[in-house]
Chain A
């Protein structure tokens, strides 16, 4: 585990600061309306790695209102930061609520990425900015989705994708700012009717749709104070920042 940590740090130093992502076109596998088959995503900056336990620990020390004992019940469920003190410091922080993730990013001068931004960044493989139609890439993502989360998460520091961003797939799920939005469609004033209902996903023919469906279904199952052992986050920025 120690050697992994060192490698991750070396990787982090080699490419300091958030990566610039976009501008680009995000093509949702499940367009929410005919006008949204292609969504133009302006350029933005994105953390190269998920936020780690070490980084989140520094935030909590600076802002005790977000400590495990200090957090208000409206902002996080009772599992908030459970196990964080004993987790590897270079592993992604998990068991953080959406509120806490947003507070962290605001503290860093950023914000959570929007779903379209996250999906645009995550559509890249090592060499292509848009690998979403590559069956091998999708199969790789799906094989990760099929594994269970290890009890102790490994450190950050996977291979960078074409934008220079790491670990979007394969380590943890990540919060996005508008995580509830995916399920709201023009014909669903009724929240139980959604575009990612099981039938629709089963009918979807391409694997791109299925991997996206997994993410949308997961996000759609969350509420803002939920904390989950396989759910972390990273921050986005509207301007270039020096972290």
Chain B
């Protein structure tokens, strides 16, 4: 179990309780009937109603609903960002790691760049390699017009600056199998609401 003290605090796991008692419980779970998995349902309109397409790391046009059928973490970024974006990727990675095992494989991540000029498919592939992102992750870019639309729906604000950087807020939105919102996290912080939303 690779849980640090920090994540104990973050996720409300009892660190100083009675580890022995916990281990017994974990080691010998009561035999239970296998229940069908609870499927989480989000609220509000579906992100997939945007009917938008994005350019993926292979250079293909892909529908925004490419992960339909999977609970998905959606966010936006720009690849040349030095500070906040690696942190965003780390936070999502950390969120996936916190998921119960049977929810982990089914979860997906969709990161859409609002910097299509620089985040070319080749650059997106580089990012996938550099961060060792597994196939659950999709990195893509959207046109300026579509990026504004998606950002507006996700509640992410950004603007380009004269020196070619972007000022932006960060948010990670968890959506259900049909694109409806389950939970969101504004800024980069404690992802426990996202973990809970994607745990089935």
A→B interface (CB under 8 Å): 32-33, 35-36, 39, 72-75, 98-99, 102, 111, 177-178, 180-181, 183-186, 188-191, 223-224
Q: Which of A74, A102, A181 contacts B158 (CB 8 A)?
A: A181
Task: Given A74-B49, A181-B157, answer yes or no on A35-B163 (Cβ-Cβ < 8 Å).
Answer: yes
* Docked complex Cα distance between A72 and B47 (Å): 11
Where chain B touches its partner, the secondary structure class is mixed
| Residues of A close to B159: CB separation below 8 A | 32, 178, 181, 184
Q: Which of B44, B151, B158 contacts A73 (CB 8 A)?
A: B44
| Residues of A close to B168: CB separation below 8 A | 184, 189
| Residues of B close to A184: CB separation below 8 A | 157-159, 167-169
Least Cβ–Cβ distance between B84 and chain A, in angstroms: 6
Q: Mark B150-163, 1 if CB is under 8 A from A, else 0.
A: 01110101110111
Contact B162 A180 (CB under 8 A): no
| Residues of A close to B145: CB separation below 8 A | 102, 111
Number of residues in B with C-beta < 8 Å to the partner? 27
Least Cβ–Cβ distance between A28 and chain B, in angstroms: 12
Q: Which of A35, A190, A191 contacts B161 (CB 8 A)?
A: A35
* Docked complex Cα distance between A230 and B4 (Å): 53
Task: Given A180-B151, A184-B167, answer yes or no on A36-B161 (Cβ-Cβ < 8 Å).
Answer: yes
Number of A-B residue pairs with CB-CB distance less than 8 Å in the complex they form? 69
* Docked complex Cα distance between A39 and B159 (Å): 13
| Residues of B close to A186: CB separation below 8 A | 161, 167
Contact B50 A183 (CB under 8 A): no
* Docked complex Cα distance between A189 and B155 (Å): 13
Task: Given A74-B153, A224-B152, answer yes or no on A185-B167 (Cβ-Cβ < 8 Å).
Answer: yes
* Docked complex Cα distance between A102 and B151 (Å): 14
B59 contacts the other chain (CB 8 A): no
Q: From residue 117 to 176 of chain B, which have CB atoms closer than 8 A to chain A?
A: 145, 148-149, 151-153, 155, 157-159, 161-163, 167-170
Least Cβ–Cβ distance between A110 and chain B, in angstroms: 12
Where chain A touches its partner, the secondary structure class is loop
Q: Which of A183, A189, A223 contacts B84 (CB 8 A)?
A: A189
A65: nearest chain-B partner, CB-CB: B51
| Residues of A close to B46: CB separation below 8 A | 74
Give 25 CB contacts A-B under 8 Å. A32-B161, A33-B167, A35-B161, A72-B45, A74-B44, A74-B47, A74-B49, A74-B50, A75-B49, A98-B152, A99-B149, A99-B152, A102-B145, A111-B145, A180-B157, A181-B159, A183-B157, A184-B167, A184-B168, A189-B84, A189-B168, A191-B169, A191-B187, A224-B149, A224-B152
Q: Which of A39, A177, A191 contacts B157 (CB 8 A)?
A: A191
Task: Given A181-B158, A181-B159, A184-B169, answer yes or no on A72-B49 (Cβ-Cβ < 8 Å).
Answer: yes
Least Cβ–Cβ distance between B1 and chain A, in angstroms: 32
| Residues of B close to A72: CB separation below 8 A | 45, 49
Contact A180 B152 (CB under 8 A): yes
Least Cβ–Cβ distance between B68 and chain A, in angstroms: 15
| Residues of B close to A177: CB separation below 8 A | 148
Contact A223 B158 (CB under 8 A): no
* Docked complex Cα distance between A164 and B186 (Å): 43
| Residues of A close to B167: CB separation below 8 A | 32-33, 184-186, 188
* Docked complex Cα distance between A180 and B44 (Å): 21
Can you name 16 extra interface pairs (CB under 8 A) apart from A73-B49, A184-B169? A33-B161, A35-B161, A35-B162, A73-B44, A74-B44, A74-B46, A98-B152, A102-B149, A177-B148, A180-B152, A180-B158, A184-B159, A185-B167, A186-B167, A188-B167, A189-B187
| Residues of A close to B149: CB separation below 8 A | 99, 102, 224
| Residues of B close to A189: CB separation below 8 A | 84, 168-170, 187-188
* Docked complex Cα distance between A181 and B159 (Å): 5
What are the 8 tightest A-B residue pairs by CB atom distance, in nearest-first order?
A224-B152, A181-B159, A74-B45, A73-B45, A180-B157, A184-B167, A74-B49, A184-B157
